[in-house]
Amino acid sequence: MTTPTIAAFDTRALRVPLTRPWAADVTSIGVVATHVVRSDGAEGWGFSWTPQIGLEAVHALLANDITAFAVGRAADPAALWPAAWAHLHEAGGGGVTTIALAGLDLALWDAEARAVGAAVSDLLGRRRESVRAYGSGVNLHYSIDELVAQVQRWVDAGFDAVKVKVGKPDLTEDVDRMAAVRATLGPDRALMIDANQRWSLDRATASIEALAASDLAWIEEPLRADDLAGHTELARRLASGSGVPIALGENVHTVHRFGDFLRAGAAQIVQPNIVRVGGISPLREIADLAVAHGAALHPHLLPELSGQLAMVLPGDVAEPLAEDVEDAGFGALGALRDTSPVRIADGILTETPHVGLGLRFA
C-alpha cells in the first residue's frame, strides 16, 4: 500500500492566559497549533509549546522552513523526523528547531491514529490503563504559608507525590520551607524538589545534603542544564553522601545529548519534555536509551500529552509518572476545542474517550 503524503500543513500562534501566573512576567503560555492534511484525506492536529520565550521564532520555522520541507513528502512521522531534523539543524541541533519539529511530528501521529479511528496510545501499543500523577507548581515566589496551602491542596486531591521549587538565596529558608512541606505531606508521600538550574556545583552539593533531611525522591536540574561535567561530579558526590537521585531533561533537546548524560552516569532519572525534544518520534528513542542505561523516565509537564505517552512508555526501571502543574492544564485553561483527552482524579491519570491525541486548540 502506498504511504500517504503530506498534502497541506498550516499553523497558527496563540497565547493561553494562565489563571495562576508562574511569575510577575509569566502570565500566559505560547502555543503554535498545527494541522496536517494527508493525500488520503486524513487530518491531524498537533502543537508546539513554549511558555514565554520564542513563540514567534517557533512559529516562523513551522510556517516557513518546515512547511516547505514537509509538503509532498511521505506522511510517516517516524521515518520523516530524522530527515526533517537533518534539514533544520543548521539553525541549531536542538531548542527552537526541535520545539518547532514537534508541531509537525505530533500532527502526523494524530493523523495516523485518526485514520484508523484509534487513540495514539492504542496505535503505539498501550502498556497500562492508568499512571500516577504528581502535584507540581511554580512556587518559589510563594510565601511559606502559600506553599504549605498548595501542598495541602494536593494532599486533599489525593496525590501521593509532589514537587516544589527550591533555590532561595539563603539555604536556611529552603530547609525551613521543605521541612514545612514534609510535615504537611506526612512520612508516606514522595517529595521531589526542583532547583531550575540555580546552583553551582558546590552550592548544589551543600544544599542537597542539607535538604535530604526532608526525605527527597529526587533533585531536579540542580545545575545549568548543559553542564555534563558538573552533573557527573555531583552524581559522584551524592552517591557517597545522601544518595539523592538526580533528575534532568526538560532542557535537554536531543537523543544524542540524553545519551551523553546517561553514559556519564550524570542522571538516574530523565524527564524529556515531549515538545522540546521534537515530538513522539524522538521520545521513543530516548525511552529506549533510558532503559538501556537503567534510568527511570518520567515525561515533563503537559499532562494532556505526556500522560497519554506514559501509557505506552516502558516501565523496566520505574513506572512513568505524569506531572500535573496546578491550574496549568490546557483543558483547565479553556484552551481546547474538545474535552480533555485525560482525566486526573485521586492522583491517578486516565485517558478519556478520544481519537488521535484529542488535542485541538480552540
Closest-CA residue to 336 (of 310, 309, 304): 304
User: Residue 257 belongs to what H/E stretch?
Assistant: helix 255-263
Q: Is 256 a catalytic residue?
A: no
Cell numbers that stand for 73 in this block:
513528502
Strand partners, 15: 30
Q: Could you write out the DSSP letters of every residue in 37-75?
A: EETTS-EEEEEEEESSS-HHHHHHHIIIIIHHHHTTSB-
**Residue of 165, 231, 293, 298 with catalytic role:** 165
CA distance 187 to 125: 36
Cell numbers that stand for 197 in this block:
538550574
**Residue of 293, 298, 300, 354 with catalytic role:** 300
Question: How many helices (H) and strands (E) in the chain?
Answer: 12, 13
Q: Could you write out the DSSP letters of every residue in 164-178?
A: EE---SSHHHHHHHH
Q: Is 165 a catalytic residue?
A: yes
Burial label, 186 (beta-carbon count in 10 A; 0-12, 13-18, 19+)? exposed
Pick left, alpha or beta for residue 32 (phi over 0 → left; psi -120 to 50 → alpha; otherwise beta).
Answer: beta
Burial label, 60 (beta-carbon count in 10 A; 0-12, 13-18, 19+)? middle
Cell numbers that stand for 304 in this block:
494532556
Could you give the residue numbers annotated as active site?
165, 300
